[in-house]
Amino acid sequence: MTIGFIGDIVGKPGRDIIAEYLPNLKSEFGIDFVIANYENASHGFGLSVKNADELFGCGIDMMTGGNHSFDKKEIISLFDTHSIIRPLNYPLAMPGSGILRATILDRQVAVVNLMGHYAMPMVDNPFTVIIEAIHQLQLEEINHIIIDMHAEATSEKQVLLHLLKDKVSAILGTHTHIGTDDLSIIERCCYVTDVGLSGCRDGVIGMDAKAPIKRFLTGIGEYFDVPKHCKSILQIIVFTLDDNGCCKEAKKIKQYDNGERIITEAFKEIDN
């Protein structure tokens, strides 16, 4: 099976470029299932019902969240009506689930959303929580396990890799909005520290540059705003899993709004 993973979708520019290019990308690369991170999809903060319907209508099959999952309270109803999850290590009393189980090409697949600790809301320990979750999925004989690790610290994402690289199919980092160049296949696992945003590429983390510039010059914060007009980019990881859930091929596609495209193949770590 071939999976596509889109990182943080930031506002209308992110939604627009996905609508324009994702259907063709799915067809061209034979993508069977698309996962995307929704937490910045509605003007940079959270997800509305209208925008959820828009994104699913573009060819996204399910969506993961993060620290902005609950910025818009209508997300609570979406957990019951759409294939949407939030970080697994939120307190148990929080609405929604942190794992989605799906059948893709007759195989059981689990998508897990996890959130780091550093500079994040107070949540349970992501590492102890995920160990227990993986054990349960193994008891269910689910070998195709994909994790969205939504974290600020690169070290947390790398620790997760070394903790689970022989147990899961993919660990895909989100949250920083800045794509990293370390896409790799290590043991059975597709890994990248951060996929990078889909949205404005000529601002600061998908937002208009004025507010962050003022904050760094003066220390005075202002509301971060998604520009109405900008140069945009769609960033997607496309990876192929075998019948045992092992990653065999992976690539990153950067699709620019001017039609240009850059494709980077994953580095394969081969044990000697």
Catalytic positions, please? 68
Asked whether the beta carbons of 69 and 37 are under 8 A apart, the reply is: no
Polymer length of the chain: 272
Asked whether the beta carbons of 171 and 5 are under 8 A apart, the reply is: no
Query: C-alpha distances in angstroms, 210 versus 43, 176, 226?
Result: 16, 19, 11
CB-based contacts of 245: which residues, under 8 Å, 6+ apart?
A: 107, 143, 144, 145, 168, 169, 188
Query: C-alpha distances in angstroms, 246 versus 5, 104, 249?
Result: 16, 15, 9
CA–CA gap between residue 112 and residue 66 (Å, rounded): 12
CA–CA gap between residue 129 and residue 115 (Å, rounded): 10
Residue 171 in tokens:
């660990």
Cα torsion angle, 241, 252, 157, 208, sign: negative
Helices (H) and strands (E) in the chain, counts: 6, 14
Asked whether the beta carbons of 228 and 207 are under 8 A apart, the reply is: no
